[in-house]
Amino acid sequence: MSQFDIFSADSSEQSPSKRAEELRAIINSADHAYYVEAHPIMSDREYDGMFRELQDLEQHDPTLLTPDSPTQRIGGSQLKEFVQVMHKKPMLSLANTYSEEEVRDFDERVTQGLDNPHHPYVCELKVDGVAISLHYRNGVLERAVTRGDGEIGDDVTANIKTIKELPLKIQHIPFEELNQEMEIRGEVYMENAAFLALNQAREEAGEKTYANPRNLTAGTLKQLNSKEVAKRPLKIVCYYLDGNSEKTNISHAENLIHLKTMGFPISQYSKRVDDIDAVSRFLNEWEYQRDQLPFGIDGIVIKVDSIPQQRILGTVARAPKWAIAYKYEALKAETILQDITFQIGRTGVVTPVAELEPVFLAGSTISRATLHNEDFILGLDIRISDTVIVEKGGDVIPKITGFIASKRHPDALKFSFPNLCPCPINSDLHHPEGEVHYLCMHPECPWQIRRRLEHFASRDAMNIEGLGEKVIDQFVELGLLHSIADIYSLQEKKDSIQSLDRWGLKSVDKLLESIEQSKNQPFRKVLFALGIRHIGEGMSKTLAQHFGSIEALQNADLNQLLEIKEVGNSIANSLIEFFKDEHEMSMLNTLKHADLCMSIDESEMAIRTDEFSGFSIVLTGELSALTRKEASEEIEKRGGKVTGSVSKKTTCLIAGEQAGSKLDKARELNIPILTEQDFLAVIQGTLPLTSFLGLP
Ligand code: IVH
């Protein structure tokens, strides 16, 4: 017989409201006992019976439903969006440290700030989850708000109520002041095992998987349907209590105990220590134990325990001066390198990828990692079938850093880069002299074409909405797109597209409209969209400004290209190769005929931002057509520098009316002198500045 049989025995004699209140209390206690204490106080059967009884009562008379009812944990109605809520006190972040020395520097600052060497600390695990602020009024959870930007967060109360360990109503409030209103903060997280199971289920269902438990937690809290949230086993650990009470203004460690008394889950690993030496021991202990934990941590939080001391230390730049995060170095794991596969990028670069036996490391499962290029693989001398070392620090992408020599199979073959592209065409791979990469140069390599199309249509290039990865895959597969040039003749294939799966008249029209719009993208965007090797966004802009048109760029020889400050051999050669390639040229021709912008417009043409680059120009005398400031701006716009006095380094002097000593000095030093009229001719583009400088 369980201790609750006394309640359920004669339930018929109680009023429904009394019975509902009683059931809420029992179920809430049972949740706490099961989820927090790990000591169930009743059987599942009894629990389910009471839960259903409460649900029935509430359904029969909705006025009996209270916000603290455990029936709320199974989720409620679908929201349209979250309400934004301003935090009463900003939710701060923590400064990070990465070495014991930095932690000792922090201690030093605390001692100085307090003018007192005695300041015990509390060390806590830094659980890798999502921060949350909880508001209780009269002991009932009223609102749960995410950190957001620290000032304003989302009201995710319905989602937070699904966390079974969190009290919806506090049974024992230790002192009266806490009853009215209190704020508790903590970290919502998910255990590794739950994360793995959920990700696996998602993968099997063909859904997107999450990179780590923190992302899954954040994604779950963003769900607008709390019924979905209830299916995911979120957990919470509380680490802060603000109770507007003298008694909660004494010590952080005591506040943690108050939290525990009130039924909040707190970390069993938090520890109050006397000094920095003990902090250091705590850090060292966890260095080795952290991967035994059922959840991921990304470090340790060290907090000054005394709240009056915290107040003295205060806050700087949104982080408290009384607390710090210590981050551990990257975690390592061993796993088997099962295979090396290859990815083809938009410029034909072939990137080797490590296919690993899946291994769980620092919160996520790793099954692939980039191997960058041939030199990287040969440098580490890793071979297929090796036991390799994978490293991961915080959020960074996993890296392979070596192999275990003693575990190498005697037959393991030294890696050699394939000669043929692994794509269905199997064309020869090229390895340009002095470059680390192998390239697939086949103009019809389907893998490369997809990447090129994606790049061409992307937002920073031609910005064609509706032509994303999936659509491109579909069109390439069906032979609707073979190259970039085909994009501008999709109009002719309208009927075929319309009849495809997931397409209709409206969506086709939208896509075609977006393609039409892309013809207005400026020349620099078109140049970037072409996907020429080494020509990124910045370089496209420089080239567009410098040459003004695709013809001028195409006609430039190696020397003319190398004259540009930012252009080196790789860029220059890549451009020359591009313009020599007949496939690229036929594509370019089609794009020209489709009326894409192949030159900068007149206003852009007038100013080339590097026209005066490297020039040091002095202004003197009175100018009439423009002010000194305007003249300086015109020079700076073109990349020149305006200096105050004439020296041997001065490129030229621009002399207005009544010029004095500067003009004399320039004459003395043989510095070229321009009149205001000359200068105006230069900035209007009639004459190049170089024609005044005795330069070619
Ligand atoms: S204290 C002003 N304690 O770490 C104090 N934070 O990098 C700020 N976190 O936003 C929070 N475990 O999401 C604190 N025991 C702990 C923590 C913790 C994890 C997270 C929290 C915070 C972030 C700061």
Q: How far is the CA of 241 from the centre of ligand 1 (A)?
A: 13
**Percent of the chain whose predicted confidence (pLDDT) is above 90:** 49
Rounded (to 5) percent helix, strand, coil in the chain: 40, 20, 35
Indicate if 126 belongs to the active site.
yes
Q: What's residue 73's pLDDT?
A: 84
pLDDT band for position 12 (50/70/90)? low
**Residue given tokens 């409209």 in the structure block:** 513
Please tell me if the CB atom of residue 96 comes closer than 6 angstroms to any atom of ligand 1: no
Please tell me if the CB atom of residue 301 comes closer than 6 angstroms to any atom of ligand 1: yes
With the most atoms of ligand 1 within 8 angstroms of its CB, the residue from 89, 91, 94, 315 to mutate is 94
Distance CA 20, CA 64 (A): 7
- Residue 183 pairs in a beta bridge with 135, 242
- Assigned superfamily of 331-407: Nucleic acid-binding proteins (2.40.50.140)
Q: What's residue 210's pLDDT?
A: 81
Q: Which CATH number fits domain 5-65: 3.30.450.70, 1.10.287.610, 1.10.1670.10, 3.40.1010.20?
A: 1.10.287.610
Q: How far is the CA of 126 from the centre of ligand 1 (A)?
A: 6
Please tell me if the CB atom of residue 126 comes closer than 6 angstroms to any atom of ligand 1: yes
Phi then psi for residue 438, to 5 deg, are -95, 145
Which one of 18, 80, 126, 414 is the catalytic residue? 126
Could you tell me if 610 and 545 are in contact, meaning their C-beta atoms sit under 8 angstroms apart? yes
Q: What's residue 32's pLDDT?
A: 82
Buried (b) or exposed (e) across 107-130, using 16+ Cβ within 10 A?
Answer: beebeebbeeeebbbbbbbbbbbb
Please tell me if the CB atom of residue 124 comes closer than 6 angstroms to any atom of ligand 1: yes
Could you tell me if 103 and 326 are in contact, meaning their C-beta atoms sit under 8 angstroms apart? yes
pLDDT band for position 193 (50/70/90)? confident
Please tell me if the CB atom of residue 639 comes closer than 6 angstroms to any atom of ligand 1: no
Q: Which of 72-86, 129-143, 518-532, 659-673 has the lowest mean pLDDT?
A: 72-86
With the most atoms of ligand 1 within 8 angstroms of its CB, the residue from 185, 187, 237, 321 to mutate is 187
Q: How far is the CA of 270 from the centre of ligand 1 (A)?
A: 13
Asked if residue 1 has pLDDT above 70, the reply is no
Q: Which of 18-27, 168-177, 668-677 has the lowest mean pLDDT?
A: 168-177
pLDDT band for position 3 (50/70/90)? very low
Closest ligand 1 atom number to CA of residue 93: 24
Q: What's residue 204's pLDDT?
A: 67
Distance CA 632, CA 619 (A): 8
Long-range contacts from 564-570, C-beta under 8 angstroms, 24+ separation: 564/610, 565/610, 565/613, 565/614, 566/538, 566/539, 566/542, 567/539, 567/542, 570/435, 570/533, 570/534
Please tell me if the CB atom of residue 671 comes closer than 6 angstroms to any atom of ligand 1: no
Could you tell me if 497 and 489 are in contact, meaning their C-beta atoms sit under 8 angstroms apart? no
Given this chain, do its domains 96-326 and 331-407 carry the same CATH topology? no
Count the Cβ atoms, other than its own, within 10 Å of residue 421: 24
How large is the average pLDDT for residues 125-146? 94
Closest CA to 654 of 615, 605, 609: 615
pLDDT (tens digit per residue) in 289-310 = 887 888 988 899 999 999 999 9
Count the Cβ atoms, other than its own, within 10 Å of residue 345: 18
Asked if residue 6 has pLDDT above 50, the reply is no
Please tell me if the CB atom of residue 127 comes closer than 6 angstroms to any atom of ligand 1: yes
Ligand 1 atom 19: the closest Cα is on which residue? 126
With the most atoms of ligand 1 within 8 angstroms of its CB, the residue from 239, 242, 321 to mutate is 239
Ligand 1 atom 21: the closest Cα is on which residue? 131
Q: Which two tokens stand for residue 22?
A: 């009683």
pLDDT (tens digit per residue) in 425-480 = 888 998 888 888 898 888 788 888 898 999 999 988 999 999 998 899 899 988 89
Asked if residue 267 has pLDDT above 50, the reply is yes
Phi then psi for residue 441, to 5 deg, are -100, 5
Q: Which of 204-218, 350-364, 547-561 has the lowest mean pLDDT?
A: 204-218
Distance CA 71, CA 51 (A): 7
Q: Which CATH number fits domain 523-605: 3.40.50.300, 1.10.150.20, 3.40.190.10, 1.20.1050.90?
A: 1.10.150.20
What residues contact residue 151 under an 8 Å CB cut-off, 6+ apart? 86, 87, 90
pTM to 2 decimals? 0.56
Please tell me if the CB atom of residue 30 comes closer than 6 angstroms to any atom of ligand 1: no
Ligand 1 atom 11: the closest Cα is on which residue? 93
How large is the average pLDDT for residues 361-375? 84
Q: Where are the domains of the chain?
A: 5-65, 96-326, 331-407, 446-520, 523-605, 607-693
- Assigned superfamily of 446-520: 5' to 3' exonuclease, C-terminal subdomain (1.10.150.20)
pLDDT band for position 246 (50/70/90)? confident
Please tell me if the CB atom of residue 188 comes closer than 6 angstroms to any atom of ligand 1: no
Architecture of domain 96-326: 2-Layer Sandwich (3.30)
Q: Which CATH number fits domain 607-693: 3.40.800.10, 3.40.50.10190, 1.10.287.110, 3.40.470.10?
A: 3.40.50.10190
Q: What's residue 10's pLDDT?
A: 47
Q: What's residue 398's pLDDT?
A: 82
Q: How far is the CA of 269 from the centre of ligand 1 (A)?
A: 15
Asked if residue 8 has pLDDT above 50, the reply is no
Please tell me if the CB atom of residue 320 comes closer than 6 angstroms to any atom of ligand 1: yes
Q: Where are the alpha helices (DSSP H) in 467-598?
A: 469-477, 494-498, 505-517, 523-529, 537-547, 550-555, 558-562, 569-580, 582-593
pLDDT band for position 7 (50/70/90)? very low
pLDDT band for position 103 (50/70/90)? very high
Buried (b) or exposed (e) across 267-296, using 16+ Cβ within 10 A?
Answer: bebbbbbeebeebbebbeebeeebeeeebb
Q: Which two tokens stand for residue 628?
A: 């000194």
Q: What's residue 197's pLDDT?
A: 86
Distance CA 679, CA 682 (A): 5
Q: Which two tokens stand for residue 652?
A: 């030229």
pLDDT band for position 9 (50/70/90)? very low
How large is the average pLDDT for residues 212-226? 88
Higher pLDDT, 146 or 432: 146
| pLDDT, mean over the chain | 88
Distance CA 437, CA 350 (A): 7
How large is the average pLDDT for residues 653-659? 89
